[in-house]
Structure 1
Amino acid sequence: MEREVVDPASKHKTVLLHEVVEWLRPEPGKRYMDGTLGMGGHSLAILEASLGRAELIGLDRDEKALELARQRLAGHAENIHLFHQPFSEFEDALDELGWEGVDGAVLDLGVSSMQLDEADRGFSFLHDGPLDMRMDSDGDLEPAETLVNTLNHGQLARIIREYGGDPMAGKIASAILRERESEPITTTLRLASIVERAYPPKMRRQARNHPATRTFQGLRIAVNRELEELDTFLSSIIGRLNPGGRLAIISFHSLEDRAVKWAFREAAKACKCPHHQLHCTCDGVPKIKVLTKKPLMASDEEMQGNPRSRSAKLRVAERLGPEGQRA
């Protein structure tokens, strides 16, 4: 009996799809960028909303996802430009095409279902596989196995506490160091088991999610330098938005959302003088207008159909003209 072949794109559900398209307002003849192409869900919707007459740059550091997205977007092949690189390097892609800026950009900072479901990628604590967690396994980043087996107690605890938000970070780090003394930790299920045993029995019984959830999240963020990538992107994207262009960012982690919130807030300020200065002398103008005073969340209907969307937060900003006015 032949095994049924499942299209990964059919399993992956694009988060906040309608909201992103509604806020970006794709138009024919305009240029857009999807910095986290993934399965191409947002990109396809943007192209369709523009009646197939917009141009789009798509970036992803996962080469397999990039190829699958290329197949999914084949009907718009003449309108797309795909790059195998992280979104922090988006300016290289724009410069290669000779684009001064874009009229809309989107980031979806979550991990795709395809990456979670493939055991050999090392993202899942439910399937056994090598302890990898790299978005780009051919890149120069070190896998999670290296971090788990070489970092000291303080370094591991900080990753699990700050990036994973786990209050048991210290005990988990101690358990990891103790276990790796006898044999290196090289598989996902072994690490998940170590983390689970580090939890007191009562906490394990009361936990809503698997005890290893936060540890795996923290390691994934550290391995892929996700916060550094985001900071680099935020420092330069606003300067490459055309007047009236909009930026939509979906985050799933409080540290990511906080970084987006503060970057938007700073860019929306007119005065750039030091806080201690009583009177403004910089004659500054705001670069953007924040369109979402509070982050937008998924609807109850979307959450029911896609539990992953429960933690998604969408923030949107619009690039202002040189005089600080809307285009």
Structure 2
Amino acid sequence: MTGFPGVRPRRLRALPALRDMVAETSVEARRLILPVFVGEGFTEPRPIASMPGVVQHTLDSLKRTAAEAAGAGLAGVMVFGLPETKDATGSQALAEDGVLTTALREVRAEVGDDCLVMSDVCLDEFTDHGHCGVLTESGVVDNDATLELYGEMAVLHAEAGAHVVGPSGMMDGQVGVIRSALDRAGHHDTVILAYAAKYASAFYGPFREAVNSSLQGDRRTYQQDNRNLRDALREIRLDVEEGADIIMVKPALAYLDVIAAARAICDVPIAAYNISGEYAMVEAAAANGWIDRDGAIDETLTSIRRAGADSILTYWALEYARRGATR
């Protein structure tokens, strides 16, 4: 080797074709999942102020969006239901004609197997106290009583047509109970996407507007502490042992190290949720002209994939898939 520098890594960055050829990480539509919200009794979609471009859907607009997601090649849509009435036990979550069950049935009829229909298995949208489970007399979430309801809810969703159920409540044992309930009901092929490492986070604010949250207090007694990594890995191992087909890390951006650590120990696919606060920060900064919006979206999604996520739930999923077809 003569002269200096003898090694010139910049050669591989000189042209777009070269950069594309050697790129280590890619974000394709097939890896993206679109979270969607549907409101009971809505006659028009309702914009979510803290999440520009995202709406609370009517049933009809939800079906159109799901069809668009299928047409764009997205992996799936994750459906969240907003009931008209709430109570202490979240009883509408188990209603055959409830908003979420109805939406799953209608969306599956709309898209068939062209796009995965995914359901949120949790009670927080349905309880008047906003917690992810039923409460004891002292106001603490009753883990084991909640598990019974999760099992029933998952079976109801599978019967309505959900390909994938996503238990997000962070109850101990939720995956095992849901797997047993699904198998007893004959839904052996229904996939469990387990929110295995779901952290108590300041970045959930816009989501609580999106789901009309009634939360009183916080969820720190059952969601992960943001100071802990080993505890999250323990949760992940437990969920895999209980039968999780895919595990989830949520949020994504402030927890890229958790995604990477999960990838190192985990042999099942990993999903990550690019959550509402992460979305809102980019949208607000871009609206003020402080950052390049498309570039920031690209970097955000690429960073999550680079950390080790196989799939990403993101509110940009449909837009990104459409834009990817032209860039």
Q: TM-score, normalised by structure 1?
A: 0.28
Q: TM-score, normalised by structure 2?
A: 0.28
Pair member with larger Rg: 1
